[in-house]
A and B are shown apart, each in its own frame.
Chain A
Amino acid sequence: DTGVSQDPRHKITKRGQNVTFRCDPISEHNRLYWYRQTLGQGPEFLTYFQNEAQLEKSRLLSDRFSAERPKGSFSTLEIQRTEQGDSAMYLCASSLPRSGRTTDTQYFGPGTRLTVL
């Protein structure tokens, strides 16, 4: 399978613990995005990278959230001191904008479902 992969698929943690999720984009896609989706809502943008550079970060992303893409390939999203309100599906997507385009189709992974007890 050459799609976007995410690990783990499910994570249950206790309030106050730190969690880290990993996303592997489609090979050679230079853009990588993180979204969060709660029940009954559409995905909500968190942040995105072009290669290693973090180009945009949502104001919704508190200081407890940090994302990295150190070598321009896979990315990690860490949540420190988790809270019950962090329970959600965390989605990763990747894209490769064609020449002359500022945007293109984003391909989504299966998501990591986080439950904070």
Chain B
Amino acid sequence: AQSVSQHNHHVILSEAASLELGCNYSYGGTVNLFWYVQYPGQHLQLLLKYFSGDPLVKGIKGFEAEFIKSKFSFNLRKPSVQWSDTAEYFCASSSYNTDKLIFGTGTRLQVFP
């Protein structure tokens, strides 16, 4: 069965620090990968997605993620975080033959000024 793992449950950073959040998926076939963000009091919003092509994907607000097929990973990165990046981040996958999203448990990011 498909699953998504996020190993960092809670990350605390100072502004301007670099960020990398881990995401691993378990599915041997063709996958689509997503990172969603949920700011405090707001609904889930898409940060970026990977369907095919260039494995380095750029999203909104300076975020990027790299799909590494050999490692079953899709880690999220940002070179310099801001206080406004404080939020919960969810990695998700879907497979070629089903449209349902499988989510990880999420990573809570706190950025202090």
Q: Which residues of A contact B (CB under 8 A)?
A: 31, 33, 35, 40-45, 48, 55-56, 58, 91, 93, 95, 97, 101-103, 105-111
User: Which residues from A are CB-within-8-Å of B36?
Assistant: 108
Q: Which of A55, A106, A109, A110 contacts B101 (CB 8 A)?
A: A106
A sample of 30 inter-chain contacts (CB < 8 A) reads: A31-B99, A33-B99, A40-B105, A41-B105, A41-B106, A42-B4, A42-B90, A42-B92, A42-B103, A42-B106, A43-B44, A43-B90, A43-B101, A44-B103, A48-B100, A55-B99, A56-B98, A56-B100, A58-B100, A91-B43, A93-B44, A95-B99, A97-B99, A102-B97, A105-B34, A105-B46, A105-B49, A108-B45, A109-B43, A110-B42
What are the residues of chain A within 8 A of B103 when measuring CB–CB? Answer: 42-44
Inter-chain contact A42/B49, CB cutoff 8 Å? no
Q: Give the contacts of B90-113 with A (CB-CB under 8 A).
A: 90, 92, 94, 96-106
Q: Is B32 an interface residue (CB 8 A)?
A: yes
Q: Closest Cβ of chain B: how far from A59's Cβ, in Å? A: 11
Write the nearest CB–CB distance from B51 to chain A, whole angstroms.
Answer: 8
Instruction: Enumerate chain B residues within 8 angstroms of A91, measured Cβ to Cβ.
Output: 43-44
Query: Contact: A108 with B105, CB < 8 Å?
Result: no
Q: Which of B32, B94, B97, B105 makes the CB contact (< 8 A) with A42?
A: B105
Complex Cα distance A40/B107, Å?
A: 9
Q: A44-B103, A103-B99, A105-B49 are in contact. Are A111 and B92 (CB under 8 A)?
A: no
Report the minimal beta-carbon distance from B20 to chain A, rounded to whole angstroms. Answer: 19
Chain B residues near A55 (CB-CB < 8 A): 99
Query: Contacting A103 at CB < 8 Å: which of B44, B94, B106?
Result: B94
